[in-house]
Amino acid sequence: MPKGRRRIQKATEAVADLLDAEVQKLEEEEEGDRVPGKVVHGAKTAWTEQDLLKEYGGQEFVPDVTIPVTISGVRFQLLQGVSMYVPKEVIRVFEETKQRTRDAGKRLIPDGYAIEPEAGGLSPTR
């Protein structure tokens, strides 16, 4: 092998070794410093169900309707009548959603519009 190629080969191996060492160091740092939502190397650290339980605390809950609830990218499928242990924030969002649904129904006209018989039927205009 010519001298020039040998030098390039050695330099390539040295760079690869340095990169491996840096990657190893970064992985070790990330494992110990894992914080949900923290930006690491340009990407946010994803939340997990365990992170949410640690952050908000958990509670046994039996929903009265089936509905999906997503908190910080973690989806919980709440099933009617099924007891589950979920973060308290999931219960808060569930109750808030039910309240908003009830409030939305109150804003609608309950009986619709009434047309008096004397007004006559609708006919096309020309």
Residues 52 and 103 in one domain: yes
Residues 94 and 52 in one domain: yes
Residue 83 lies in a domain: yes
- Quick one: pLDDT at residue 103? 77
Q: What is the dihedral of CA 65, 67, 72, 73, to 10 degrees?
A: 150
Question: CB atoms < 10 A from the CB of 115, how many?
Answer: 10
- What is the chain's mean pLDDT, rounded? 80
Residues 93 and 51 in one domain: yes
Residues 51 and 92 in one domain: yes
Whether residue 114 has pLDDT greater than 80? no
Q: Averaged over 114-125, what is the pLDDT?
A: 62
Whether residue 89 has pLDDT greater than 90? yes
Residues 50 and 18 in one domain: no
Instruction: Give the integer Cα–Cα distance in Å for 87 and 53.
Output: 5
Domain that holds residue 52: 46-107
The enclosing H or E element of 102 equals: helix 88-107
Using only C-alpha atoms, the chain has a radius of gyration, in whole angstroms, of 30
Residue 34 lies in a domain: no
Q: Is the pTM of this model over 0.85?
A: no
Residues 100 and 62 in one domain: yes
Q: What percent of the chain has pLDDT over 70?
A: 75
Number of domains in the chain: 2
Residue 64 lies in a domain: yes
Residues 15 and 53 in one domain: no
- Asked which of 32-41, 51-60, 78-87 is least confident by mean pLDDT, the reply is 32-41
Residues 101 and 63 in one domain: yes
Residues 55 and 82 in one domain: yes
Residue 114 lies in a domain: no
- Cα distances (Å, whole numbers) of residue 80 to 62, 63, 109: 7, 5, 29
Whether residue 16 has pLDDT greater than 70? yes
Instruction: Give the integer Cα–Cα distance in Å for 124 and 126.
Output: 7
- Quick one: pLDDT at residue 68? 93
Tokens standing for 102?
């009830």
